[in-house]
Amino acid sequence: MTVDRTELRIATRKSALALWQAEHVAARLRAAHPGLAVVLVPMSTRGDELLDRPLAQVGGKGLFLKELEHALLEDRADLAVHSLKDVPARLEPGFALGAILARADAADALVSNRHDSLDALPHGARVGSSSLRRQALLRARRPDLVLLDLRGNVNTRLARLDAGEHDAIVLACAGLQRLGLGGRIRERLTPPDWLPGVGQGAIAIELREGDDATAALLAPLHDADTALCCGAERALNRILAGDCTVPIGAYAQRADGRMRLHGMVGDAAGGRVLRGHAEGAADAAEALAAEVAEQLLAQGAGRLLGH
């Protein structure tokens, strides 16, 4: 396909992690297409600005996308870079995912200055996280903990931990590692016992639907294996009609032409966690997602999801 673009404009949030991800995509594009000019268009989103309430109360993770999508619609940018875990299961009409990059570490991380693991935290320890999924998993494993909402970018959350407001916090391993802060990880909370967010660890690139020129430039960045696995996780989320107001976790792995998908639905207030898993052909993501969803719904997930 002939590509007629000589410049690409990347819409991105202004946080350090978002800028790292956008710069990473820009570097990959420049390497794949020598001579291509790639510029960043940083902007603030409502999700970045509304930090005084839990995300589930102010509109969900889609708040991190809206301003960037407006920039695409108004031709102020050609693509937008997101953490895939922030991308809703169903995109707004007129948009598409042009590429999903190879996944980094999908696990959550326990970060603490005094304690080496979740099990080592003292009775009644204060743990910060605004994720309902993480809160459900924390309550299921340690019902004695005091859970505190914690919003803001990675450095803001670490600063509050360091100021003594929390005994520990839970963040994504990938975000810490990308910012050169992997040394802050005290314990990896690993799947399938501890399930990450849907698509966690993967970077997604959004573009206008039908923009074939930009799509062609993104093709070398796309990782088919990550897309298959994250596609299964996103299919489960879509079937369950999940959003950030309910705790849903998922993790898919692919090997030797097979895929195993784990899923969970939780109750952040009570600590109840429902789990399901299925294994099958790697190209049968929708069928696997439907099977795991059926298992979860049979256990009563519909009530937790508000169906």
Q: Considering the entire predicted model, what is its pTM?
A: 0.91
- The percent of residues above 70 in pLDDT, for the chain, comes to 91
pLDDT score at 51 = 47
- The answer on pLDDT for 29 being more than 70 is yes
Nearest CA to 285 among 219, 228, 212, 213? 228
Are 203 and 83 in contact by the 8 Å Cβ rule? The answer is yes
Share of the chain above pLDDT 90, in %: 83
Which residues are known catalytic residues? 86
User: 80, 83, 77, 79: which is closest to 101 by C-alpha?
Assistant: 83
Q: Residue 30 and residue 11: Cα distance in Å, rounded?
A: 16
Binning pLDDT at 50, 70 and 90, where does residue 306 land? confident
Cα gap 35→298, rounded to integer Å: 55
What DSSP line would sit under 114-181, residue for residue? S-SSTTTSPTT-EEE---HHHHHHHHHH-TTSEEE---S-HHHHHHHHHTTS-SEEEEEHHHHHHTT-
Are 169 and 113 spatial neighbours (Cβ–Cβ below 8 Å)?
no
Torsion of CA 284, 61, 133, 128, to 10 degrees: 150
Q: What is the pLDDT of residues 253-297, one digit of tens each?
A: 999 999 999 999 999 999 999 999 999 999 999 999 999 999 999
pLDDT for residue 4:
61
